């Protein structure tokens, strides 16, 4: 029932049956222009009849390139990252690459293992969302293995590689400005882990907006927490138990905002009435929660597409200088940032 690969059909079998030589078959299979159309047709027909399967292990041994690209993601259960992964995979896949997608679960050791493993499979390049706390020498490891790397969403400290960032600073600046314009006076920033660059960027946007509106802001607090619903809900509940209670919560991301919703509701308050809430990312579901979430559109698909393009570019031109790309975010005003509860 299940074919044994050991008695696999090879180009030699095709050669025998079609009457051409091994090399002609190989060329024909690669759609080489050197082969006459009619013979290619014959060869492809025989290949189909025999159930031939191209053996990339063998090809890789001779060819300098493989069609394998690694996609190393810190947390696939976070919708932002899974949507990003899907976008990258789609782009790379449509360019003929096979994407090896791996989840590191924010585990640095696993991340190192994964890199080694990918290198053994002759992977030429990787796109990575680095796990929290990824050290700078990680880049060196990747390069030692002969792979190009581009990071996305999170930079590695002092990194010397291509990077596609999300527009965290400006995103949070936009949402903070908006929430102040809505009349919030006691602000809270919720979510993210200290020491992480993405967190610092977003915090910078928060502070910038506050400086920009000093007269209007009575108080503000910073409340880091793990980037998941549960942690955000808990932080919010304790936040609401302290004075002055915030009337505007700027969240690290949409996922955090979902947790904040729950924390607010558990305290008997209403989102978009008693407390204005904003997110960032515009993940699936941000428009479907109630009240719908005011957030920033960071264009996940565009980021993924760009990351794929940059890696492909890097692979074809290894010597060009490293670059940072950032795709501008846009404010998306929905219901959660209203403040009509007095």
Using CB under 7 A as the binding rule, whether residue 30 contacts DNA is answered as yes
- Interface residue with DNA among 3, 21, 95, 287 (CB under 7 A) is 21
339 SS3 class: coil
Using CB under 7 A as the binding rule, whether residue 98 contacts DNA is answered as no
Using CB under 7 A as the binding rule, whether residue 29 contacts DNA is answered as yes
d(CA 178, CA 251): 13
Using CB under 8 A as the binding rule, whether residue 340 contacts a second copy is answered as no
340 binds, among a second copy, DNA, none (CB under 5 to 8 A by kind): none
What are the DSSP E strand ranges found in 91-153? Answer: 98-103, 125-128, 148-152
- Interface residue with DNA among 11, 240, 276, 307 (CB under 7 A) is 11
What helix, strand, coil percent values describe the chain, rounded to 5? 45, 15, 40
Report the candidate in 37, 261, 69, 252 with the shortest Cα–Cα distance to residue 147. Answer: 69
Tell me whether residue 23 or residue 77 sits nearer to DNA (CB atom).
23
Using CB under 8 A as the binding rule, whether residue 48 contacts a second copy is answered as no
Minimum distance of a second copy from residue 321's CB (angstroms): 12
Pairing of strands 162-166, 324-327: parallel
Using CB under 7 A as the binding rule, whether residue 55 contacts DNA is answered as yes
Per-residue contact track with DNA, 58 to 77, x per CB under 7 A?
A: xx-xxx--------------
Using CB under 7 A as the binding rule, whether residue 12 contacts DNA is answered as yes
For 308, the token pair is 């794929």
Peptide bond into 50 cis (omega under 30): no
DSSP per-residue string spanning 227-285: SSHHHHHHHHHHHTTSSSPPSEEEESSHHHHHHHHHHHHHTT--BTTTBEEE-SB--TT
26 binds, among DNA, a second copy, none (CB under 5 to 8 A by kind): DNA
Tell me whether residue 166 or residue 203 sits nearer to a second copy (CB atom).
166
CB atoms within 10 A of CB 81: 22
* Window 77-116: residues binding a second copy (CB under 8 A): 77, 79, 82-83, 85-86, 89-90, 93, 98-103, 105, 110, 116
Name the residues that contact DNA, by CB under 7 A. 6, 8, 10-12, 19-24, 26-27, 29-30, 33-36, 39, 52, 54-55, 58-59, 61-63
């Amino acid at each position: 029932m299940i074919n044994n690969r050991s008695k696999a059909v090879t180009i030699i079998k095709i050669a025998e049956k079609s009457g051409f030589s091994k090399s002609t078959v190989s060329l024909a299979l690669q759609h080489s222009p050197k082969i006459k159309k009619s013979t290619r047709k014959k060869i492809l027909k025989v290949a189909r009849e025999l159930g031939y399967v191209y053996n990339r292990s063998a090809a890789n041994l001779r060819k300098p390139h493989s069609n394998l690209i690694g996609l190393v993601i810190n947390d696939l259960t976070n919708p932002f990252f899974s949507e990003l992964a899907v976008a990258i995979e789609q782009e790379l896949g449509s360019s003929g690459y096979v994407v090896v997608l791996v989840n590191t679960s924010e585990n640095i050791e696993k991340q190192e293992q994964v890199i080694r493993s990918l290198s053994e499979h002759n992977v030429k390049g990787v796109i990575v969302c680095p796990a929290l706390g990824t050290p700078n020498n990680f880049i060196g490891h990747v390069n030692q293995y002969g792979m190009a790397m581009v990071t996305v969403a999170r930079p590695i400290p002092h990194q010397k590689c291509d990077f596609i960032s999300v527009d965290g600073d400006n995103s949070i600046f936009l949402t903070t400005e908006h929430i102040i314009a809505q009349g919030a006076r006691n602000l809270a920033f919720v979510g993210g882990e200290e020491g992480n660059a993405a967190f610092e960027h977003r915090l910078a946007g928060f502070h910038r907006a506050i400086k920009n509106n000093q007269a209007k802001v009575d108080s503000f607090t910073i409340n880091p927490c793990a980037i998941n619903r549960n942690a955000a809900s808990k932080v919010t509940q304790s936040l609401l138990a302290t004075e002055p209670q915030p009337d505007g919560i700027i969240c690290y991301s949409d996922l955090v905002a979902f947790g904040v919703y729950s924390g607010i509701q558990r305290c008997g308050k209403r989102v978009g009435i008693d407390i204005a809430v904003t997110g960032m990312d515009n993940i699936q579901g941000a428009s479907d929660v109630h009240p719908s979430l005011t957030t920033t559109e960071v264009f996940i698909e565009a980021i993924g597409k760009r990351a794929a393009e940059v890696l492909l570019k890097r692979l074809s031109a290894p010597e060009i200088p490293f670059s940072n790309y950032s795709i501008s975010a846009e404010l998306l005003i929905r219901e959660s940032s209203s403040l009509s509860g007095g």
